[in-house]
Amino acid sequence: MSTSPDVFVLKFDGPAKYRITVQGLISERFSESFAGMIMTTGLDANTTPITILTGRVQDQAELAGVLNSLYETHVPIISVENLSKSRGE
């Protein structure tokens, strides 16, 4: 089965860049648990505090580790977005 050149295919075992948005503020002391992702804080449209993690993970296993670390900090995950497909990475 072949795909056309304009179709992006996610790879389970390859690197990708993600943006993960969570409700609430995460302390910088947890930054080591997030695979070196950059943490940005702000407010959503309803002025609710949010934290955005952006960065590259080596594979889906590392992404699962980041998501598990977020689960352990008890913050609700709002979204997980793969940025690689939109930037051609």
Tens-digit pLDDT profile for residues 48-87: 999 999 999 999 999 999 999 999 989 999 999 999 865 4
Q: Could you tell me whether strands 77-82 and 16-23 are parallel, antiparallel, or unpaired per DSSP bridges?
A: antiparallel
Average pLDDT over residues 19-47: 89
What is the separation, in whole angstroms, between the first and last Cα of the chain?
22
Per-residue CA distances from 29 to 3, 34, 73, 79, 86 (Å): 43, 11, 11, 22, 31
| CATH H-level superfamily of 16-87 | ACT domain (3.30.70.260)
Total count of residues recorded for the chain: 89
Q: Report pLDDT for 84.
A: 84
Phi, psi of 81 (to 5 degrees): -125, 130
